[in-house]
């Protein structure tokens, strides 16, 4: 109690400046002391934050830690879900594979966290909570011993002064000697503590590189964990990707033609074949097919049914407009038009040829350049549209009208502007491309087409390919009295609506009819359209009207299921109104 009182008294005297204070630590040791305190604080904060980054419970064994990880719970949930869905479900397969991968990742995470706890957390905690606090404790002990020494020294000095001025010299001398012994003892204790503290401080300073190594080990452990995790993922990703790629039930709308045909092992795209087969059975006599819009809900339902490759399409047979709308939508949603971006300029150049013979020849040459899958599907579609045009007296869908409503869904520019700009720049060209191809479908594509390619659908009537009423003859391009084509009787079947092109041989004006189809890769045939009366080419009349008359008015035109306004030349060019009379 007396020693404690003396310390408090000495501290008070030093505080007010009435007593000297002994400095026992050098400047180097004082600097080490300040750094040591900072290291303790930052090590404590780092340990605290690093603990919050761990997902497992610190101090538990490996098995318990693994069970408590969120990844383990996720893995179990995925594997349970995969078992419930079964292997016949792609989601079930994916969940099972991903569940196994997550379980492996959980194991890697558990081992990583245990390594972090052993190599980083425990040493940091030892440094911040044990080693540095012990040194600081010695520093506080030294401060007390310094106070004891200063107090004993002060009392000894006072006793020495009292001997000189006092009368009881012997008693004062004895007291001074006692205080001298107390001072020497306090100084010895202070020096011992100082030496021990100095050694510990210098030892700490020399180990700073070892303490810094903890942070390097942290990054190394994290890098090793991520490498192992990446290895787990890379081992399972090929299997997962293979399962994904082998799954054929993928949406058809919005998917590239080649990709859809490859994964479904088909020759003709499912939406095209399904819609054509349904229309062949119930839609060929429907007025305004491809022109009249279908109900949005019915169209959406049909597209969804075709996307999932369902065979239950019976309910849609009664709504041919929805079927036609789905076909148009599929063609328009292709990432690349069926007639391809690559050949866009060639198609437009061919449509600009003024001579009918040469225009047909150029169109045939461009058509022959289509990629295999595009050409097969385009041929299939054109054959169907030609068959549809045979019933134009009933359904009002002539080749011209079909080209108007369907052409913009078959070919469009890669860089599109506004809808009006697209219509003005492309629509007339597309119509002049599609219309003659439909009119002369059997000349462009002389091969027979089996509409029920996949065998998934039933044909209402046998496919005849129009052999009895369409020939692959090419009449004389200069029709004379001796080589005129007999007019069709208006009471005959509309199957004769498509007039075959012809070829002229020799220079004497005589003609020789040929049934030889065009050969792929050749320079193309020399076709000609000799049409009379109602078969007058609408596009030629329009082009003439555009050249000679400037009086315009606006008419409605359907482009990509959207009504837009386009200039239409009228008055003296009456055939131009026929061009869009059903719109």
Beta-bridge partner residues of 475: none
Strand 562-569 to strand 552-559: parallel, antiparallel, or no bridges (unpaired)? Answer: antiparallel
Q: CA–CA separation, 551 vs 425, rounded Å? A: 19
Helix 90-116 with 208-246: angle, nearest 10 deg = 170
Residue-wise pLDDT for 396-430, tens only, equals: 999 999 999 999 999 988 875 555 555 555 677 88
Residue 370, pLDDT > 60, answer: yes
Residue 118, pLDDT > 80, answer: yes
* Secondary structure tally for the chain: helices H, strands E: 23, 2
Residue-wise pLDDT for 325-352, tens only, equals: 999 999 999 999 999 999 999 999 998 9
Q: CA–CA separation, 249 vs 266, rounded Å? A: 13
Cα angle: 526, vertex 528, 533; to 5 degrees:
175
Query: CA 255 from chain center: how many Å?
Result: 14
Distances in Å between the Cα of 464 and the Cα atoms of 122, 381, 424, 456, 511 are: 86, 16, 39, 20, 29
Within 8 A by CB and 6+ apart from 252, the residues are: 260, 264, 269, 270, 271, 306, 307, 309, 330
Distances in Å between the Cα of 474 and the Cα atoms of 299, 321, 432, 485 are: 42, 36, 20, 11
Residue 176, pLDDT > 90, answer: no
Beta-bridge partner residues of 562: 559
Q: pLDDT band for position 575 (50/70/90)?
A: very low
Residue 497, pLDDT > 90, answer: no
Percentage of the chain exceeding pLDDT 70: 72
| CA nearest neighbour of 401 among 564, 581, 275 | 581
Residue-wise pLDDT for 225-256, tens only, equals: 999 999 999 999 999 988 887 776 778 899 89
Contact criterion met (CB below 8 Å) for 327 and 268: no
Instruction: Using the Cα atoms of residue 439, residue 444, residue 446 and residue 450 in order, give the sign of their dihedral.
Output: negative
Residue 44, pLDDT > 80, answer: yes
- 468, exposed or middle or buried, with CB in 10 Å at 0-12, 13-18, 19+? exposed
Q: Which residue has the higher pLDDT, 12 or 483?
A: 12
Contact criterion met (CB below 8 Å) for 563 and 535: no
Q: pLDDT band for position 462 (50/70/90)?
A: very low
Residue-wise pLDDT for 204-226, tens only, equals: 989 999 999 999 999 999 999 99
Mean pLDDT across the stretch 131-143? Answer: 90
Q: pLDDT band for position 311 (50/70/90)?
A: low
Contact criterion met (CB below 8 Å) for 433 and 407: yes
Within 8 A by CB and 6+ apart from 110, the residues are: 56, 62, 65, 66, 69
Structural domains in the chain plus CATH codes: 2-243 (1.20.1270.60), 257-527 (1.10.555.10)
- Dihedral (C-alpha) 128, 131, 135, 137: value to the nearest 10 degrees? 70
Cα angle: 399, vertex 405, 410; to 5 degrees:
90
Token output for 188: 């010895």
Mean pLDDT, the chain, as a whole number? 76
CA atoms within 13 A on the CB side of 269: 30
């Amino acid at each position: 109690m007396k020693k404690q009182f003396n310390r408090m008294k000495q501290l008070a005297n030093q505080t007010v400046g009435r007593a000297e204070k002994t400095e026992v630590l050098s400047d180097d040791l004082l600097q080490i002391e300040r750094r040591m305190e900072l290291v303790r604080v930052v090590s404590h904060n780092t340990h605290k934050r690093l603990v919050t980054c761990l997902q497992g419970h610190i101090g538990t064994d490996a098995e318990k830690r693994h069970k408590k990880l969120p990844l383990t719970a996720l893995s179990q949930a995925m594997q349970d879900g995969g078992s419930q869905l079964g292997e016949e479900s792609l989601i079930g397969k994916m969940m099972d594979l991903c569940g196994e991968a997550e379980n492996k990742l959980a194991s890697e995470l558990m081992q990583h966290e245990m390594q972090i706890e052993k190599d980083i957390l425990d040493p940091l905690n030892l440094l911040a909570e044990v080693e540095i606090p012990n040194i600081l404790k010695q520093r506080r002990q030294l401060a007390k011993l310094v106070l004891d020494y200063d107090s004993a020294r002060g009392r000894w000095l006072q006793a020495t002064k009292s001997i000189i001025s006092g009368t009881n010299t012997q008693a004062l001398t004895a007291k001074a000697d006692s205080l001298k012994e107390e001072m020497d003892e306090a100084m010895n204790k202070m020096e011992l503590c100082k030496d021990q503290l100095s050694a510990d401080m210098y030892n700490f300073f020399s180990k700073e590189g070892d303490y810094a190594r903890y942070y390097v080990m942290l990054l190394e452990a994290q890098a090793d964990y991520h490498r192992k995790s990446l290895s787990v993922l890379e081992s399972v990703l090929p299997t997962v990707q293979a399962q994904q790629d082998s799954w054929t039930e993928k949406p058809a709308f919005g998917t590239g033609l080649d990709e859809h045909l490859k994964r479904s092992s088909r020759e003709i795209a499912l939406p095209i074949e399904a819609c054509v087969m349904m229309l062949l059975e119930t839609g060929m006599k429907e007025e305004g097919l491809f022109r009249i819009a279908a109900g949005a809900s019915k169209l959406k339902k049909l597209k969804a049914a075709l996307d999932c490759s369902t065979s239950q399409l019976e309910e849609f047979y009664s709504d041919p407009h929805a079927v036609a709308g789905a076909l148009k939508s599929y063609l328009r949603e292709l990432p690349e038009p069926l007639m391809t971006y690559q050949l866009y300029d060639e198609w437009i150049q061919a449509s600009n040829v003024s001579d009918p013979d040469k225009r047909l020849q150029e169109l045939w040459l461009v058509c022959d350049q289509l990629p295999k899958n595009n050409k097969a599907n385009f041929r299939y579609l054109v054959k169907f549209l030609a068959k549809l045009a045979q019933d134009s007296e009933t359904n009002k869908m002539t080749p011209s009208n079909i080209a108007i409503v369907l052409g913009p869904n078959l070919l469009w520019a890669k860089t599109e502007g506004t809808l009006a700009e697209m219509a003005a720049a492309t629509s007339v060209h597309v119509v002049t491309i599609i219309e003659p191809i439909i009119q002369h479908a059997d000349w462009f594509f002389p091969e027979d087409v089996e509409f029920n390619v996949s065998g998934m659908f039933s044909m209402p009537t046998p496919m005849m390919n129009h052999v009895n009423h369409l020939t692959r003859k090419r009449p004389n391009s200069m029709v004379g009295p001796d080589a005129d084509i007999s007019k069709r009787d208006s009471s005959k079947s509309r199957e004769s609506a498509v007039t075959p092109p012809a070829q002229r041989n020799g220079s004497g004006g005589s003609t020789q009819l040929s049934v030889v189809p065009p050969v792929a890769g050749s320079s193309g045939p020399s076709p000609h359209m000799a049409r009379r009366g109602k078969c007058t080419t609408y596009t030629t009349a329009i082009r003439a009207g555009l050249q000679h008359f400037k009086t315009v008015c606006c008419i409605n035109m359907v482009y990509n299921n959207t009504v837009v306004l386009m200039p239409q030349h009228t008055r003296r060019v009456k055939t131009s109104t026929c061009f869009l009379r059903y719109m």
